[in-house]
Amino acid sequence: MSPLTLGLVVFAFALGATLLGMLLVVVVLWLTLLFLSFGLFAPANPTAVVALMVAALSVSAALFLILELDRPFDGLIAISNEPIVKAMSYLGH
């Protein structure tokens, strides 16, 4: 097996998470403190509350997408590994 083929196999089937757990913890804690401070110092009117809720929803959706796209072969947003397997079978011949 050539080094290029081996590299493709390792790249295609590397199902382990690439995001560090500690990085995720730090980002979530930082965002929690950020939104907590915004909630404490923002005026208590409906516009500010709705703006904070929309911002929190968008940040949580972005974190969800990052975590889902980190592992492409499983989760809610998953791709098939069939094209990679078919390409590897052609490379093996």
Residue 22: its pLDDT value, please?
Answer: 77
Shared domain check, 39 and 3: no
Distance CA 43, CA 21 (A): 35
Cα 36-42-29 angle, rounded to 5 deg: 15
26 plus 45 within the same structural domain: yes
Same domain, 88 and 50: no
Q: What is the mean pLDDT of residues 41-70?
A: 88
Q: How far is CA 8 from the centre of its chain?
A: 22
Q: If we measure between CA atoms, which residue out of 80, 82, 79, 84 comes closest to residue 92?
A: 84
Containing domain of residue 8, as a range?
1-16+80-93
Assess whether pLDDT exceeds 70 at residue 37. yes
- Identify the pLDDT of residue 75: 82
pLDDT (average), residues 57-69: 88
> Which of the residue ranges 60-64, 81-85, 88-92 has the most confident prediction, judged by mean pLDDT?
60-64
pTM score: 0.63
Cβ(88)–Cβ(8) under 8 Å?
yes
Q: What does the pLDDT read at residue 2?
A: 53
Answer yes or no: is pLDDT of 1 > 60.
no
Is residue 72 within a helix (H) or strand (E), and if so which, with residue range?
Answer: none
Is 24 found in the same domain as 63? yes
